[in-house]
Chain A
C-alpha cells in the first residue's frame, strides 16, 4: 500500500465517523427524551473524537505538507469525502436513526477490532483500541433500542421494520471490496471484508431475532460513497457542517 492509499484508508475511517457524528449531532435538543438526547450526542462526541484521531493521522500522510484534521473535515468538497452512504442518510424518525446506527455499529466494531490488532500502522491500532470500548457501548445502545422498538408496540414494530427495509440497500457498500480494500487488506491495515461480513451477519441476525424483526432480502445495493459519489442530502449536511469554518477560517472558541 503506497502512502496515498494509506491516507485514503484512514480518511475512510475518519469520514465514516465524522459524518455519522454530524448526523447524530442534529438530534441535539430534538431527541424524544432528555436522556436519549444526551445519549445520542454522547455517541456523536465519541465519533467526532475518533474522527479527530483518524483525520490527523491521515493528514500526516499528505504528499506535500501536513494537513490538519480541521482542514480535512471542513475544507474538502463533497467528492473528496469517502464515507459510506449509510452514515450520511438523514435522521428521519427515531427508528431510522437507531437502525442506521445499529447497522453501522457492528461493522465499525469488527473493523476496529481488526485495526487494533494489526501492526502495519500502530498509530491507527492505538486509535482503534480506544475506539472499541466506545463502539461496544454504541452497539449495545442501538441493539437494545432495536429490540425495544421491534418487540414493542405494533406501531413501533412496524415503523422500525420500515426503517430497516428502507436502509437495507445501503448495507451492501460496507462489504464491497475496491482497490483500497484490496491493498489495505494485503498490508494488514484493513480487514478482509468477507470475514467482517460473516461476523456482522451473525450479530445483526441475533438482534433482529430478539427484536422479532424480519431481515430484508439482499436486493439491489446502493453504493458510491467510497468513491465520492454521495446521496442528495449530503451536500446540505456538508454546507451546515462547514459553513462556519469556511466563513471564519481562523475562528476559535
Chain B
C-alpha cells in the first residue's frame, strides 16, 4: 500500500442514502481489511441514518484523471451545446421534461 507500514490501507467509502438512489462517494478511512472497512464506514459515515448500503473500495484501486489533462478532457465540450437534448420541440402533452 502507498501508506507507511504502520498505517492501515486507505479505503474510499460510498453510501447509498436510500433505496433506488446510487451509491455516492462520502469520504475515506483506514482499515486493515474490507470487513473492517465496512464496520468503520458504518461507524464513521452512517451514525445519523445517512445510509442503507455501503461500498468500500481500496483507494489504490481507483484510477483518477489528472488535473493537468483537464483542458484536453473537458474544455472541448464547452462550445457543443447541441449535445444537450434541448433543441427538440416537445408536444404540449409532454410536461415537466
Contacts and interface: CB of A to CB of B under 8 A. Distances in A.
A144 B8 CA distance: 16
B40 interface: yes
A39 B39 contact: yes
Interface of A: 33-36, 38-39, 42, 137, 140-141, 144, 148
A38 B30 contact: no
B43 A35 contact: yes
B31 A35 contact: yes
A33 B32 CA distance: 11
Contacts of A36: 40
A39 B43 contact: yes
Contacts of A144: 35-36, 39
A38 B44 contact: yes
A141 B30 contact: no
A34 B31 CA distance: 10
Could you tell me the dominant secondary structure of chain A's interface residues? helix
A38 B36 CA distance: 13
B32 A38 contact: no
A41 to B, nearest CB: 9
B29 interface: yes
Contacts of B39: 39, 140-141, 144
A140 B44 CA distance: 16
Nearest to A43: B43
B47 A35 contact: no
A35 B39 CA distance: 9
Which 5 A-B pairs have CB atoms at the shortest separation, nearest pair first? A35-B40, A39-B43, A38-B43, A42-B43, A35-B29
A36 B40 CA distance: 7
Interface string B38-54: 01101110010000000
B35 A35 contact: no
Contacts of B47: 38, 42
A35 B32 contact: no
Contacts of A140: 39
Nearest to A141: B39
Contacts of A148: 32, 36
A42 B39 CA distance: 12
Contacts of A42: 43, 47
B35 A33 contact: no
A80 to B, nearest CB: 33
Interface string B1-39: 000000010000000000000000000011110011001
A33 B8 CA distance: 9
Contacts of A34: 29-30
**Most A C-beta atoms less than 10 A away, residue of B30, B32, B40:** B40
